[in-house]
Structure 1
Amino acid sequence: MADRYVPHAFSDIDSHPDPARLVAALNRLSAHPFFAAYRQRAGELLGARRGSRLLEVGAGTGEAARRLAAQTGAEITVCDLSAVMCGEMRGCGLTRVAVADAGQLPFRDRIFDGVWADRVLQHVSDPERALAEMVRVVRPGGRIVVCDPDTGTQALELADQRLAARVLELRRTVNIRHGTFARRTPGLLAGHGLADVRVEARTLVIRDAREVGGAMGIRDWAEVYARRGYLSRPEADRFNALLGEAIESGRFLFAVTYFLTSGTV
């Protein structure tokens, strides 16, 4: 399916016509209770504490890094492939900021006490290389934490399950380079020799009508695929009508499972 891949908006933010809109979208995601909760847990798994040196790969707006530093006193470096995002992070007070490719981190071997990446490896061109780079820059005894959704676990309740399945498959194959990489992460970390590799599964469930147009942008899915030629106009219109009916009747449900994987170098 690699030939069908269309870069996710967050993969190409520097050339986006309205980067401020993407920054706002990331901030909305950060504020969602589901994401805030597992980010809190990620900090615990990292063993973040005063004086520890940590790195966030693909830090986006830097909100998680700022929060973790304020809560623990850890010294946090952030990096992102986007110069726009790095500028956003500097503007919000972060000082250890680097524009960097996750597959070629500009840091010495074994320099950090812990490294984490949140919803990043699913989008990078070579997630195995990025994971190896994360391992390289962590000292022995240090921690690695990775979180990504497994798009193979998606569920969507609409009256037409064939159309629902088609849209979910488009989400898995068109927008995200490596939608099922999350399930491979534990084995790859074990292959790098990490100890105590553990996985915590957390499922995002959306039923509230107010969230349908919010963090996950569900109301926009069919329109996006119709514009790109993956759905016909009648199919997109039918999806939108069924979505409205499901919301109105209270039957709507969308769910996807995130894997929070950690290990010790």
Structure 2
Amino acid sequence: MADRYVPHTFSDIDAHPDPARLVGVLHRLRAEPFFTSYKQRVLDLLRAGPGRRFLDVGAGTGDAARRLAAATGAEVTACDLSAVMCREMRGQGLRRVVVADARHLPFRNGTFDGVFADRVLQHTEDPEGVLAGMLRVVRPGGRIVVCDPDTGTQALAIDDHELAARVLALRGRAGFRHGTFARRVPGLLAGHGLEEIRVEARTLLVRDRTTADAMTGVRDWAGAFADRGQLRREEARRFDALVDAALREDRFLYAVTYFLTSATLPALNGAAGP
């Protein structure tokens, strides 16, 4: 059975009754082809190289930071608000790990050649403030890459379309503080004067039971909302039965689109970027 869906799960890791389970979720996701592919693209967009310095904001288990350092020879610092995640990163061999609030990064202006955040801004209380803080610590000519899913793009195919829409709406509101922030990032970066703004869309498409359980926990959504009084218990049972039927009969479909946004800070005096 998939882990029980918990609102704001990755916003309050240290307060979770079983934070080790959340660490396990992230470790399992890193093996899924969809995540492996788009996460590699995030790293490619940083244009990293030997001797350059990069910051992973909301680094989680630190997989991306380790991969970037190993593949490019860059110096990578990982920061996360969660002490649990920072302990996990250190245990996995990362040396440059900092417990930090992304709104108040403890680094001087222009410290890094690039900064990135993967599935982080959607969970923060102040995503615009976090984005501004990320830009502050990047040097002129440096790179920023941000990736988040947009919950407004969710699609779910079961026989009761109205119930599916209600559950998706609840998930978008309860599971993410800013589930549609990803669509705003390009405009905000343009407002900050960034250049080379590029947006790429990657759609997660799930149709089989194994992937549905491992990557979405869809069969726990309705029950969690019933526990919180947001859905009647009989509606939750009906939702679960419809999901099971759709999976069994090869009619199930869940999809959500991720937006990868990359950009370059303006260089000073014509200096070259990374």
How would you bin the TM-score normalised by the shorter chain?
over 0.9
One-letter identity of the residue aligned with 2:13 = I
SS at match of 1:69: helix
Question: What is aligned with 1:208?
Answer: 208
Question: What is aligned with 1:187?
Answer: 187
Question: What is aligned with 1:257?
Answer: 257
Question: What is aligned with 1:197?
Answer: 197
Question: What is aligned with 2:14?
Answer: 14
One-letter identity of the residue aligned with 1:136 = R
Post-superposition CA distance 1:49-70 (Å, at most 9, x none) = 1111000000000011111111
SS at match of 1:184: helix
- Structure 1 residue 248 displacement after superposition: 1.1
Aligned counterparts, 1:48-197, within 5 A: 48-197=48-197
Q: CA RMSD in A?
A: 0.9
- Structure 1 residue 30 displacement after superposition: 1.4
- Structure 1 residue 209 displacement after superposition: 1.6
- Distance in 2, Cα, partners of 1:212 & 1:219: 8
Question: What is aligned with 2:268?
Answer: none
**Closer/same/farther in 2, CA of residues 7 and 244 from structure 1, 3 Å limit:** closer
Question: What is aligned with 1:35?
Answer: 35
- Distance in 1, Cα, partners of 2:210 & 2:16: 27
The alignment status of 1:221 with 2:221, answered yes or no, reads yes
Question: What is aligned with 1:240?
Answer: 240
One-letter identity of the residue aligned with 1:201 = A
- Distance in 1, Cα, partners of 2:26 & 2:114: 23
- Structure 1 residue 7 displacement after superposition: 4.9
When normalised by structure 2's length, the TM-score is: 0.93
- Structure 1 residue 186 displacement after superposition: 0.2
- Structure 1 residue 200 displacement after superposition: 0.2
List, as ranges, runs of 4+ consecutive aligned residues in structure 1 with deviation greater than 2 Å: none
Question: Any unmatched runs of 5+ in structure 2?
Answer: 1-5, 266-274
Post-superposition CA distance 1:191-229 (Å, at most 9, x none) = 111001010000000012211111211111111111111
Post-superposition CA distance 1:11-54 (Å, at most 9, x none) = 11111111110000011111111111111111111001111100
- Distance in 2, Cα, partners of 1:228 & 1:235: 13
SS at match of 1:93: coil
SS at match of 1:193: coil
- Distance in 2, Cα, partners of 1:130 & 1:231: 33
SS at match of 1:223: helix
- Distance in 1, Cα, partners of 2:241 & 2:219: 11
Post-superposition CA distance 1:159-204 (Å, at most 9, x none) = 0000000000011111101010000000001111100101000000
Give the % identical residues: 68
Question: What is aligned with 2:270?
Answer: none
Question: What is aligned with 2:272?
Answer: none
- Distance in 2, Cα, partners of 1:105 & 1:183: 24
Q: When the two structures are aligned, how many residues end up with a matched partner?
A: 260
Post-superposition CA distance 1:68-101 (Å, at most 9, x none) = 1111111000000001101111111111111101
- Distance in 2, Cα, partners of 1:136 & 1:227: 42
Question: Any unmatched runs of 5+ in structure 1?
Answer: 1-5
- Distance in 1, Cα, partners of 2:68 & 2:118: 13
- Distance in 2, Cα, partners of 1:14 & 1:222: 25
When normalised by structure 1's length, the TM-score is: 0.96
Post-superposition CA distance 1:117-148 (Å, at most 9, x none) = 00000000000000000110000110000000
